[in-house]
Structure 1
Amino acid sequence: MYILKVKGVAKIPDYVQLRDEKFTLLAYFRIDRPEKALDKIGLGDKQEYILNLVKDLPFGKILKLDI
């Protein structure tokens, strides 16, 4: 699984994308509202871990997750 942080512009907020090994989009959520998206794909229990990674991740950088 891969994680990507996307910079918002003007009134559009910053978002996070979670993608699988084939780079198919699994989840797309605002950084400040991850609950529903992570629960939907079964990663609700990993929310704190994912948000800590996102906090330090630069915009546009892709990071491979081993979850």
Structure 2
Amino acid sequence: MYIIKVKGVAKIPDYVQLRDDRFTLLAYFRVDRPEKHLDKIGLGEKQAYIMDLIKDLPFGQILKLEL
């Protein structure tokens, strides 16, 4: 799974993309509202870990997530 953090512009907030190994989009959510999106794809229990990674991830960089 891959994480990409996308920088918002003007009134558009920052977003996060979660993609699988074939780079298919699994989730797309605002950085400040991940709860229901992570629950929907079965990663609700890993929310704290994922959000810690996202907090330190520079915009535009792709991070491979090993769960």
Match of 1:7 in 2: 7
Unaligned runs of 5+ in 1: none
SS in 2 for 1:17: strand
> Runs of 4 or more off by more than 3 Å in structure 1?
none
Percent identity of the aligned residues?
81
Structure 1 residue 53: Cα displacement = 0.2
TM-score relative to the length of structure 1: 0.99
Q: In the alignment, what sits opposite 1:66?
A: 66
Determine helix, strand or coil for the equivalent of 1:42. Answer: coil
RMSD between aligned residues: 0.3
Question: Post-superposition shift, 1:26?
Answer: 0.1
Q: Give the TM-score taking structure 2 as reference length.
A: 0.99
Match of 2:36 in 1: 36
SS of 1:10 mapped into structure 2 = coil
